[in-house]
């Protein structure tokens, strides 16, 4: 696998409304672990559409890995220009930094939002250009990622395509590992 599309819930779909929420750290660490594992077996590119939540955090992880001299490339392919215009100022700044530092950036459609067909085109494009997808998903919680997963399951039926998941159990493993590695955790009685 050379190219991986990373997607999942938007921040508000996870009930996260501040980017300094401690849960963001655990989500990012889980993404980092998954990406490092894929890099060990040949991952070269991470593809994102740059939406808030999982995709934005995955992009930040890739940039951190690049800064630490890991050989990984980042492509940001939003469904249309200016997808961040209705986001908070903090999220707009994070997104603008991400697209500025990405190795490749190109919206699928030029111009602003025109309709839901742009998201469907994004999903089809990501499936056709990636070898697999890493998706943060919980079958008990619906979200915008459901549309991609429906398209991906259909695509997988006639193509060699893998869908990997980040689950609640993965996140719990990260939390427990981080707690075990924290010396102050062991000082509690």
Instruction: Tell me the CATH number at 106.
Output: 3.40.50.450
Cα–Cα distance for residue pair 82/3, rounded to 1 Å: 25
Q: Roughly how many angstroms between the first and final C-alpha of the chain, as a whole number?
A: 46
96 falls within a domain: yes
Number of domains in the chain: 1
156 falls within a domain: yes
pTM: 0.94
Give the Cα-Cα-Cα angle 112, 19, 108 (nearest 5 degrees).
Answer: 25
User: Domain residues for 171?
Assistant: 3-180
107 falls within a domain: yes
159 falls within a domain: yes
185 falls within a domain: no
Please report the pLDDT score of residue 186 as a whole number: 65
CA distances from 93 to 6, 47, 100, 108 (A): 20, 20, 11, 21
What is the full per-residue pLDDT of the chain (189 aa) written as tens digits?
999 999 999 999 999 999 899 999 999 999 999 999 999 999 999 999 999 999 999 999 999 999 999 999 999 999 999 999 999 999 999 999 999 999 999 999 999 999 999 999 999 999 999 999 999 999 999 999 999 999 999 999 999 999 999 999 999 999 999 888 877 766 765
Please report the pLDDT score of residue 178 as a whole number: 87
Please report the pLDDT score of residue 182 as a whole number: 74
Please report the pLDDT score of residue 184 as a whole number: 73
189 falls within a domain: no
187 falls within a domain: no
Greatest distance between any 2 Cα atoms in the chain: 58
16 falls within a domain: yes
CA distances from 183 to 28, 88, 172, 175, 180 (A): 21, 36, 19, 14, 7
């Amino acid at each position: 696998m050379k190219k991986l599309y990373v997607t999942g819930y938007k921040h508000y779909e996870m009930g996260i409304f501040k980017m300094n929420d401690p849960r963001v750290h655990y989500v990012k660490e889980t993404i980092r672990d998954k990406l490092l594992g894929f890099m060990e077996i040949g991952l070269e590119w991470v593809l994102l559409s740059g939406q808030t939540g999982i995709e934005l955090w995955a992009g930040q992880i890739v940039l951190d890995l690049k800064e630490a001299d890991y050989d990984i490339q980042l492509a940001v392919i939003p469904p249309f220009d200016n997808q961040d215009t209705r986001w908070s100022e903090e999220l707009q700044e994070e997104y603008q930094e991400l697209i500025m530092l990405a190795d490749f950036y190109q919206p699928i459609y030029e111009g602003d939002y025109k309709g839901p067909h742009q998201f469907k085109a994004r999903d089809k494009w990501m499936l056709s250009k990636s070898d697999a997808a890493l998706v943060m998903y919980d079958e008990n919680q619906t979200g915008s990622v459901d549309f991609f997963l429906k398209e991906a399951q259909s695509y997988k039926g006639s193509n060699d395509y893998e869908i990997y998941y980040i689950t609640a159990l993965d996140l719990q493993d990260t939390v427990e590992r981080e707690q075990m590695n924290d010396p102050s955790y062991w000082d509690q009685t």
